[in-house]
């Protein structure tokens, strides 16, 4: 079974090595893929008045326009420009097939509701038993940016949650070579595919987080390596940036506002410019 799964992933490994060969000869940022997370029947996280798919799309389109206006030598491709559902493998394939040099995925973060005791009820026996309810976790805020990596055990839950969207896609078993987001063995196999562009992904991610923290005075939750499927499938430097917690009332207002989105776009764009200047050969 393990050998069969390894063989199924062989074409992806060969693709990675072909990109590595071209990458080592010369590297210039000529094509950037901007990915607005979720979309269509996959709304993503929900806030009190907005949903992740809409905020991500707004920021993605604004970022793309800024790149097109200020870096005219760079081609921008979008995984989606409207409220449509795009399968994970197609998002990564767009970047791979067009030999893109950067992949940037825009997302919003969210904290799950907390289970709390809301009261007690008395049983016929006379004993009291707790009554549970759920309250929103509205205190966590900040930004974080992810790169593909062999995630540690305590990171698997978040990776599984993000990858779970593939079960909403038609023919996901065929498209993902039997990938099961709840199969630990699959995660082990995926972790063997070391990201050939890990260093450059980390560089861009750190630049983005530095700008969020220093320019925008945002809470910096750091750069993290995690086994997110969309990043694992990209044969190029790739990051997924969480621009804020839609579950935090003030941060939800910020990421929906013109001023807030302008700051987010400027921080990501400034990181791209610095990355481009420091990595091109």
Answer whether residue 152 shows pLDDT above 50: no
Handedness of CA 259, 261, 265, 268 (dihedral sign): positive
* The pLDDT value given to residue 161: 53
Tokens read off for 237: 């430097």
For residue 117, which of 135, 134, 132 has the smallest C-alpha distance?
A: 132
* The pLDDT value given to residue 198: 84
Distance CA 29, CA 6 (A): 32
pLDDT digits (tens, 9 = 90+) for 36-50: 999 999 999 999 999
Distance CA 109, CA 243 (A): 7
Q: Stretch 100-117: mean pLDDT, rounded?
A: 85
Average pLDDT, rounded, for the chain: 82
Distance CA 269, CA 216 (A): 13
Answer whether residue 247 shows pLDDT above 90: yes
- Domains in the chain (CATH in brackets) are 2-111+140-279 (3.40.630.40)
* The pLDDT value given to residue 133: 61
Answer whether residue 239 shows pLDDT above 80: yes
Q: Stretch 186-197: mean pLDDT, rounded?
A: 52
Q: Whose structure tokens read 């000869």?
A: 25
Distance CA 68, CA 72 (A): 5
* The pLDDT value given to residue 168: 67
Distance CA 187, CA 201 (A): 20
Answer whether residue 142 shows pLDDT above 70: yes
Answer whether residue 139 shows pLDDT above 80: yes
Answer whether residue 9 shows pLDDT above 70: no
* The pLDDT value given to residue 216: 97
pTM, 2 dp: 0.77
Answer whether residue 151 shows pLDDT above 50: yes
Distance CA 17, CA 96 (A): 12
Answer whether residue 262 shows pLDDT above 60: yes
For residue 36, which of 51, 15, 17 has the smallest C-alpha distance?
A: 51
Distance CA 169, CA 87 (A): 6
């Amino acid at each position: 079974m393990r050998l069969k799964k390894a063989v199924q992933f062989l074409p992806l490994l060969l693709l990675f090595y072909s990109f590595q060969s071209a990458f080592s000869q010369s590297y210039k940022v000529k094509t950037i893929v901007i990915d607005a997370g979720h979309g269509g029947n996959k709304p993503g996280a929900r806030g009190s008045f907005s949903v992740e798919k809409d905020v991500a799309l707004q920021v993605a389109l604004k970022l793309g326009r800024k790149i097109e206006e200020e870096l005219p030598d760079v081609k921008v491709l979008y995984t989606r420009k409207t409220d449509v559902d795009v399968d994970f493998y197609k998002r990564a394939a767009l970047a791979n097939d067009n030999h893109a040099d950067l992949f940037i995925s825009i997302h919003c973060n969210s904290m799950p509701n907390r289970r709390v005791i809301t009261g007690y009820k008395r049983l016929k026996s006379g004993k009291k038993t707790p009554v549970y309810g759920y309250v929103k976790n509205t205190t966590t805020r900040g930004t974080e940016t992810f790169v593909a990596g062999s995630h540690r055990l305590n990171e698997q839950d978040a990776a599984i949650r993000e990858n779970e969207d593939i079960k909403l896609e038609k023919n996901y078993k065929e498209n993902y070579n039997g990938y099961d987001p709840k199969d630990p063995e699959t995660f082990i196999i995926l972790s063997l595919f070391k990201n050939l562009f890990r260093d450059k992904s980390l560089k861009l991610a750190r630049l983005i987080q530095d700008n969020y923290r220093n320019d925008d005075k945002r809470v910096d939750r750091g750069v993290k390596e995690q086994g997110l499927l969309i990043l694992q499938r990209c044969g190029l430097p790739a990051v997924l940036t969480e621009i804020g917690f839609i579950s935090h009332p003030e941060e939800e207002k910020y990421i929906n506002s013109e001023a807030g989105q302008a700051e987010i776009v400027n921080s990501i764009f400034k990181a791209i410019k610095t990355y481009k200047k420091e990595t091109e050969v």
